[in-house]
C-alpha cells in the first residue's frame, strides 16, 4: 500500500503534486472511499464527520478535490453488512481518504472491522490520511495523543510504518504542539518519529519515506 500521510490534507501545490504522482492518474479519473470514523470520538465530531464526507473541510482538503466518485466507508458498520460487498468496494477504490479525529478510536475500529487485516494486501491502493488518519499507521502514537480509551488501554496503532507522527506542529490554535512538546513526545518513543506542520506531508512507497514540505518539520531518530 502506498501512503500520503498529511497533517491537514492536501494543503499546498507540493502535497497536491505528490498526490498525483502516487495516484498515477488525474484525480478526475480516480475513485475514492472516505473514512470519517475518527471524528466521532472528538468534541463536535458529528459535525466534523459530516463536513469531511460533504467536502466542507476547506482547511483540510480531501474529499472536495474533484474525484471521479466518492463513497463512504464507515468502519463501525462494516461488521453488520456483507463482508464481500465492502471488501470488493475497497479493492475497487484507487484511494482511501482517512479523516482526522481520535487516533485510538480510529485504530480500534480499523481492527474491529477487519479493514486493518486487509490493508497489507492492497498493493495498488493509496492511503491518504490527515492527522489521526496518518498517525495510526505508526507502531505507537505516544501517550500525549491518547484520548479515547480502547478496551485494555495503550497507545499502540497499526504498525504499518516504523515511525510515529506528531501532526500540526506549531499550529496557532494548539499551544501544546510546539517543537519543544514534539521533542519531549519523541523522547518517550523507542522508534523514529517525524514532527510535521500543516504544510508538510510524508510519502511512503515500498518502505521508502520522503518528506514533502512547504513548511517546517523535524525527524527524530530512535
- What domains appear along the chain, each with residue ranges and CATH number? 2-220 (3.40.50.880)
pLDDT at 207: 86
Segment 114-167, tens digit of pLDDT: 999 999 999 999 999 999 999 999 999 999 999 999 999 999 999 999 999 999
Contact 38, 133 (CB under 8 A): yes
Per-residue pLDDT tens over the stretch 95-105: 999 999 999 99
For cell 503534486, the residue is 17
pLDDT tens for 75-85 read: 999 999 999 99
CB atoms near residue 212 (< 10 Å): 22
pLDDT above 90 covers a percentage of the chain that reads: 95
Which residues on neighbouring strands pair with residue 47, listed in sequence order? none
Q: Are 136 and 76 in contact (CB under 8 A)?
A: no
Residue range 58-77, pLDDT digits in tens: 889 999 999 999 999 999 99
Q: What is the mean pLDDT of residues 16-41?
A: 98
To the question of pTM greater than 0.75 for the whole model, the response is yes
- Would strands 95-98 and 126-130 be described as parallel, antiparallel, or unpaired? parallel
Residue 194's pLDDT is: 98
pLDDT of res. 202: 98
- Is pLDDT at 222 greater than 90 in this prediction? no
State the pLDDT at residue 58.
82
Predicted pLDDT at 57: 85
Amino acid at each position: 500500500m502506498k501512503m500520503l500521510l498529511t497533517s491537514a490534507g492536501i494543503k499546498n501545490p507540493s502535497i497536491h503534486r505528490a498526490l498525483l504522482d502516487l495516484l498515477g492518474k488525474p484525480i478526475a479519473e480516480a475513485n475514492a472511499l472516505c473514512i470519517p470514523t475518527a471524528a466521532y470520538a472528538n468534541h463536535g465530531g458529528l459535525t466534523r464527520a459530516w463536513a469531511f464526507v460533504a467536502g466542507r473541510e476547506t482547511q483540510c482538503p480531501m474529499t472536495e478535490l474533484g474525484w471521479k466518485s466518492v463513497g463512504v466507508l464507515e468502519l463501525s458498520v462494516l461488521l453488520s453488512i456483507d463482508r464481500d460487498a465492502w471488501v470488493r468496494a475497497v479493492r475497487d477504490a484507487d484511494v482511501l481518504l482517512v479523516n482526522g479525529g481520535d487516533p485510538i478510536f480510529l485504530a480500534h475500529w480499523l481492527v474491529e472491522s477487519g479493514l486493518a487485516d486487509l490493508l497489507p494486501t492492497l498493493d495498488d491502493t493509496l492511503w491518504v490520511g490527515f492527522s489521526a488518519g496518518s498517525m495510526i499507521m505508526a507502531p505507537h502514537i505516544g501517550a500525549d495523543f491518547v484520548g479515547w480509551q480502547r478496551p485494555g488501554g495503550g497507545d499502540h496503532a497499526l504498525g504499518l510504518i516504523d515511525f510515529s507522527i506528531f501532526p500540526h506542529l506549531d499550529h496557532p490554535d494548539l499551544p501544546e504542539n510546539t517543537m519543544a512538546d514534539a521533542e519531549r513526545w519523541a523522547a518517550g518513543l523507542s522508534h523514529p518519529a517525524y514532527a510535521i506542520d500543516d504544510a508538510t506531508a510524508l510519502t511512503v512507497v515500498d518502505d521508502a519515506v520522503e518528506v514533502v514540505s512547504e513548511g517546517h518539520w523535524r525527524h527524530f531518530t530512535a
